[in-house]
A and B are shown apart, each in its own frame.
Chain A
Amino acid sequence: MKNNKSKFSKYLVSGVAALALAAGAAGSASAAENGKFRVGIVTFLSGPAAGPFGVPSANAAKVLVEELNKGNLPAPYDKIGINGAEIEAVIIDEAGGATKQVEEYRNLVQRQKVDAVIGYVSSGDCLAIAPVAEELKTFTIAYDCGTPRLFADNPDAQYMFRTGLDASVDNIGAVRYLAATRPDVTRLAGIQQNYSWGQDSWADFTAAASALLPEAEVVEEQFPKIYQGQYGAEISALSVKRPEIVHSSFWGGDMEALVLQANARGLLEDATGLLTCGEASFATYKDQAPNGMIIGARGPFGQFAPDNELNTWFEGVYQNAYDLEPVYPATKMAQAILGLKYAAENAGVADKEIPSAEQLAAAMKGATFESVSGTVEMARGNGHQAMQGITYGEYHYEDGVASIKNAVSFDGECVTPPEGVAAADWIADGFPGAKCN
């Protein structure tokens, strides 16, 4: 027995020694001093958010990086790679929760030595990453997550940026669209996934509706759990209240299931559906969604992206590579990469040199850059949060072709709370300072 114990302790000691050696080897093997610009791309590659969000985003990143390295983009992004340095993308999976993402973020920065990180669909992941980005002093762009708490909880952020819009903009925009196109609606209902995203979306929507549609009342609200898939009971509960508008912040498979089931049950014939994330499934609805259903893309993205040279080019290469039109998560990923490229090329460093995180952050803060979605102003969150307009429109499907009709756009100043004002307060005060066209 004694002999065994000492043998065992040898094992433990040698195990730790092996670990140390392995770690040392791994650390040196991936130190990238090869002159390339390494970008960590984090998005869902597995799980329910992969299909609607993660895969289109990762695909957009791949095709854009490839084309950037060839220098194929239109001006002002025609320089090869980022600031002349070839881009090397490290794509990792966002699935697995915030603790794991913090671990993987540290691995990206400290082991893989990336120069910048772009990513995060989940708001929980964004909130967990923000303090770590500051700690590790790494230039980080959140490209999709929607929580308004990102810069409210981290007011002194220096290295964290967000090129997408926050979720209150979606719902203020949705109410503005109703006020502009259907000012007489009186009966509103909602169905949301029961987690932060759904709860926050519904709170913003109902608050904005009581300010802009004073005649309207909320007749029913349903909060089924996320990934439930079957909404028979909820659809019945909504139907009996005879709403005119059914608002939903559903996304992905849940949203497609809801549209399919609500349409079959006649709910969407009597009431108009309003889906704030509806554009993400634009290509897959076909005739299963009713004509006239209102859809949004969380900003001027996807189908709602303007006809500018950059976007036409982007749609072309994306379509060539994947035989699909880019949906909004793809456009948003492209926007974040272009934002990074803009920051690097305006950081005041020599050609082919990779700017430091401080230089990138200084160039990005408060910047105005051209993107696939038009002009982006980093005008909120102390220069860290993008401000853009938002567009809503109606889905129409005729003769095998899907299109958007009656699209209405609202300026950024019309749907975004002023600097330093929380969305809830701004809505409650009746949108002071809003500039609408």
Chain B
Amino acid sequence: MRLDKTEISLGLVALACVLFGFVSPGWLIFLLTIALAKALVVQGVVMQMRSGLVSFGQGLFYCIGGYTVGMGGQFFGIHDAIAALSLGMFVAIVVAMLLGLLLTRYREIFFAMLSLAFSMILFGILVKSQELGSTDGFNVHDWTLFGWAPEAGAGSQHTVFTMTVVSGLIVAVLIHRYTKAGIGVICEAVRENEVRVEYLGLSPRWLLYGNYVAAAAVSALGGGLTALATGHVDPEMAYWTTSGEFVFIALLGGLGHVAAPFIAAIVFSFVRTYAIEFVPHTWQMILGFTLLAVIIFLPKGLWSLVSREKTGERA
């Protein structure tokens, strides 16, 4: 397997992150874990944005991932983290394969609203399920990794952090290869002109379908990792504001590069946590102005700061 320079640098950054985890304070590790886990969901949003679809319901798969990990441990005795995460991805794939049949027939705002609707249906079902703690949710604990139980506290925090970084790396490399491959480039062609793609003899619908299912799996992985890190899941994960946050981060980062969602998620988390600390009453406004500033000055997201200099032209 030959690695290109992006993959090598992603690998190096991931390694640096894992090492950095050993020296940084607990709150920072937690913040980065959540940011990177959410970035995986954002990758799912970005994958679809690249082909011209904006999903306002990615929280559906984020929530499925989280709840599968939680319920696996609580009710079905699946305590192994890898098994639970894989199960979450599997459930998400099955659900996405069903919903995708309907959703890929729609475009633009209709796709956005339908995806949002399915996410809110899951929210409604969870709120009605008192066995699952309704809106209060339930705790996720006692998970193991290949039979080894990390000690509570710093030990398990490091383990989840490392797992998140490794998952992030694997997903990033796969997505990077996908976008560079012919099929990934066609995704952009679908966004630009679907009819022409059809004339080329390809089916945009099945392309979008595959994209949708893959995005669901990646998002479920992010949800599962969030559940392991937080130790709690609640229906808020499927609520539309959560899905909105993923779109926010996607716009913040831009579609320019596979690393953009990770960087945007980290920037978002830092802006939010310091806004809450310094202006507890108006932190939402700071977030709003940040997005506004990015939209006005960097319409292609934070990544255009990098790409602009690269190509020597304004984004």
Contact A128 B230 (CB under 8 A): yes
Rounded to whole angstroms, the CA-CA distance of A13 and B10 in the bound complex is 9
Give the segment of A66-74, A105-113, A232-240, A244-252 that binds chain B.
A105-113
Tell me the smallest distance from the CB of A174 to a CB of chain B, in Å.
20
Interface string of A1-24 (1 = CB under 8 A from B): 010111111011101100110110
B residues near A, CB below 8 A?
A: 4-6, 8-10, 12-13, 16-17, 20, 24-28, 30-31, 34, 127-128, 130, 133-139, 141, 152-153, 226, 230-232, 234, 236-237, 239, 242, 257, 259, 263, 266, 269-270, 273, 276-277, 280-281, 283-284, 306, 309-311
Residue of B nearest to A123 (CB): B136
Q: Known contacts being A20-B24, A106-B26, is A99 close to B34, with CB within 8 Å?
A: yes
Contact B135 A124 (CB under 8 A): yes
Tell me the smallest distance from the CB of A205 to a CB of chain B, in Å.
15
Rounded to whole angstroms, the CA-CA distance of A223 and B36 in the bound complex is 38
- For A107, the chain B residues whose CB sits under 8 A away are 27, 31, 273, 277
Tell me the smallest distance from the CB of B296 to a CB of chain A, in Å.
23
Contact A106 B130 (CB under 8 A): no
- For B25, the chain A residues whose CB sits under 8 A away are 23, 27, 110-111
Tell me the smallest distance from the CB of A434 to a CB of chain B, in Å.
26
- For A92, the chain B residues whose CB sits under 8 A away are 276-277, 280
20 additional A-B residue pairs with CB within 8 Å, beyond A27-B28, A103-B34: A5-B6, A5-B9, A12-B13, A13-B16, A16-B20, A91-B280, A93-B281, A99-B34, A99-B236, A102-B231, A103-B30, A103-B31, A103-B273, A106-B30, A110-B26, A111-B27, A127-B232, A128-B137, A147-B136, A195-B134
Interface residue from A19, A132, A149 paired with B136 (Cβ < 8 Å): A149
The CB with the most chain A CB atoms within 10 A, among B263, B277, B284, is that of B277
Interface residue from A2, A11, A23, A106 paired with B306 (Cβ < 8 Å): A11
Indicate the size class of the contact surface on chain A: 35 or more
Interface residue from B231, B242, B259, B273 paired with A128 (Cβ < 8 Å): B231
Rounded to whole angstroms, the CA-CA distance of A348 and B232 in the bound complex is 36
Tell me the smallest distance from the CB of B38 to a CB of chain A, in Å.
9
19 example contacts (A-B, Cβ-Cβ < 8 A) are as follows: A16-B13, A45-B280, A91-B280, A97-B242, A98-B232, A102-B232, A103-B31, A106-B26, A106-B31, A110-B25, A123-B136, A124-B136, A127-B133, A128-B231, A131-B141, A147-B136, A149-B133, A149-B136, A195-B134
Contact A99 B232 (CB under 8 A): yes
Residue of A nearest to B124 (CB): A225
Rounded to whole angstroms, the CA-CA distance of A124 and B126 in the bound complex is 13
Interface positions, chain A 262-291, Cβ under 8 Å from B, are none
A residues near B, CB below 8 A?
A: 2, 4-9, 11-13, 15-16, 19-20, 22-23, 27, 45-46, 90-93, 97-99, 102-104, 106-107, 109-112, 123-124, 127-128, 131-132, 135-136, 147, 149, 153, 194-197, 199
Rounded to whole angstroms, the CA-CA distance of A291 and B273 in the bound complex is 46
- For B259, the chain A residues whose CB sits under 8 A away are 12
Rounded to whole angstroms, the CA-CA distance of A109 and B28 in the bound complex is 12
Tell me the smallest distance from the CB of B234 to a CB of chain A, in Å.
5
Q: Known contacts being A93-B283, A110-B25, A111-B25, is A15 close to B137, with CB within 8 Å?
A: no
- For A15, the chain B residues whose CB sits under 8 A away are 263
Rounded to whole angstroms, the CA-CA distance of A106 and B277 in the bound complex is 12
Contact B134 A153 (CB under 8 A): no
- For A45, the chain B residues whose CB sits under 8 A away are 280-281
Rounded to whole angstroms, the CA-CA distance of A131 and B137 in the bound complex is 14
Per CB-CB distance, the 8 closest pairs between chain A and chain B, nearest first, are A9-B9, A128-B232, A110-B27, A196-B134, A5-B5, A195-B135, A97-B236, A124-B136
Q: Known contacts being A9-B5, A99-B226, A128-B139, is A112 close to B242, with CB within 8 Å?
A: no
Tell me the smallest distance from the CB of A328 to a CB of chain B, in Å.
21
Q: Known contacts being A98-B230, A131-B231, is A13 close to B136, with CB within 8 Å?
A: no
Contact A20 B5 (CB under 8 A): no
- For A194, the chain B residues whose CB sits under 8 A away are 127-128
Interface residue from B5, B236, B263 paired with A98 (Cβ < 8 Å): B236
Contact B139 A106 (CB under 8 A): no
Q: Known contacts being A16-B13, A127-B138, A149-B133, is A112 close to B277, with CB within 8 Å?
A: yes
- For B8, the chain A residues whose CB sits under 8 A away are 9
Contact B266 A13 (CB under 8 A): no
Interface residue from B12, B137, B141 paired with A13 (Cβ < 8 Å): B12
Contact B134 A102 (CB under 8 A): no
Tell me the smallest distance from the CB of A49 to a CB of chain B, in Å.
13
Rounded to whole angstroms, the CA-CA distance of A134 and B34 in the bound complex is 20
Rounded to whole angstroms, the CA-CA distance of A11 and B9 in the bound complex is 10
Rounded to whole angstroms, the CA-CA distance of A90 and B278 in the bound complex is 10
Q: Known contacts being A15-B263, A20-B24, A107-B277, is A127 close to B13, with CB within 8 Å?
A: no
Rounded to whole angstroms, the CA-CA distance of A12 and B169 in the bound complex is 14
Tell me the smallest distance from the CB of B81 to a CB of chain A, in Å.
17
- For A195, the chain B residues whose CB sits under 8 A away are 127, 134-135
- For B153, the chain A residues whose CB sits under 8 A away are 135-136
Contact A131 B139 (CB under 8 A): yes
- For A27, the chain B residues whose CB sits under 8 A away are 25, 28
Contact A98 B234 (CB under 8 A): yes
Rounded to whole angstroms, the CA-CA distance of A46 and B137 in the bound complex is 22
- For A135, the chain B residues whose CB sits under 8 A away are 152-153
Contact A4 B236 (CB under 8 A): no
Rounded to whole angstroms, the CA-CA distance of A91 and B4 in the bound complex is 48
Rounded to whole angstroms, the CA-CA distance of A227 and B185 in the bound complex is 45
- For B20, the chain A residues whose CB sits under 8 A away are 16, 20
Contact A16 B277 (CB under 8 A): no
Residue of A nearest to B26 (CB): A110
Q: Known contacts being A2-B5, A4-B310, A106-B30, is A127 close to B139, with CB within 8 Å?
A: yes
- For A93, the chain B residues whose CB sits under 8 A away are 276, 280-281, 283
Contact A6 B234 (CB under 8 A): no
- For A196, the chain B residues whose CB sits under 8 A away are 130, 133-136
Tell me the smallest distance from the CB of A138 to a CB of chain B, in Å.
12
Rounded to whole angstroms, the CA-CA distance of A5 and B310 in the bound complex is 9
- For B266, the chain A residues whose CB sits under 8 A away are 19
Tell me the smallest distance from the CB of A43 to a CB of chain B, in Å.
10
Contact A124 B234 (CB under 8 A): yes
Q: Known contacts being A23-B25, A111-B27, A196-B135, is A104 close to B276, with CB within 8 Å?
A: yes
Rounded to whole angstroms, the CA-CA distance of A4 and B16 in the bound complex is 21
Contact A46 B234 (CB under 8 A): no
Contact A23 B24 (CB under 8 A): yes
Rounded to whole angstroms, the CA-CA distance of A91 and B277 in the bound complex is 8
